Structure 1
Amino acid sequence: MALSVVFLATVGASLAAAIRYKTEADAFEDNKRVAGQWSAAVRAGTVPRTIPARRPVDLVQVVDARGRVTNASRAASEQLPLSRVRPPPDDRFQNITECGTSQGCVILMAIRATPTPGSPVVYAGMTEPAILATNELDIGIAVGAAPIVGLVGWTSWTMLGRTLRPVQTISARMAEITGTDLSRRVPLPPGRDEITMLARTANETLARLETAVKQQRRFASDASHELRSPLAGLRARLEEALAYPDDVDPREAIRGALATTDRLEAIIADLLELARLRAADPVPPERVDLAALATEATGARVNAVPVRVRAPSAVPVSGSRIQLARVVENLVVNAQRHAEGEVVVRVEAVDGQAVLTVEDDGDGIAPADRERVFDRFVRLDDARRRDPAGTGLGLAISREIAVAHGGTLRVEDSPRGARFVLRLRSLDGTPARPPAAGASGA
Structure 2
Amino acid sequence: MVVDTEYYDLLDIDITATAIEIKKAYRKKSIKEHPDKNPNDPTATERFQAISEAYQVLSDKNLRANYDKFGKEKAIPKGGFEDAAEQFSAIFGGEAFIPYIGELTLLKNLQKTEELNAEDEAEKQREEEEKQKKEKEAKENKDSSTFSVSTDVKNDSEVKKDEPKKKTKMEQFEEEQQLEKDKTVEKLKQTLIEKLSILTESAYDEDCKMSFEKKFEEEANLLKMESFGLDILHTIGDAYCERARIFLGSQNLFGFGGMFQSMKAKGGVVMDTLRTVSAAIDAQHTMKELERMKLATESDEPLVDKHGKEEPKPTAEELAEQEHLLMGKVLSAAWHGSKFEIMSTLRAVCDKVLEDNTVDKGTLVKRAESLKLLGKVFQRAYRTKAEQEEAQVFEELVAEATKKKQHS
For the aligned pair, the TM-score class normalised by the smaller chain equals under 0.3
TM-score, structure 2 normalization: 0.24
TM-score, normalised via structure 1 length = 0.23
Larger Rg: 1
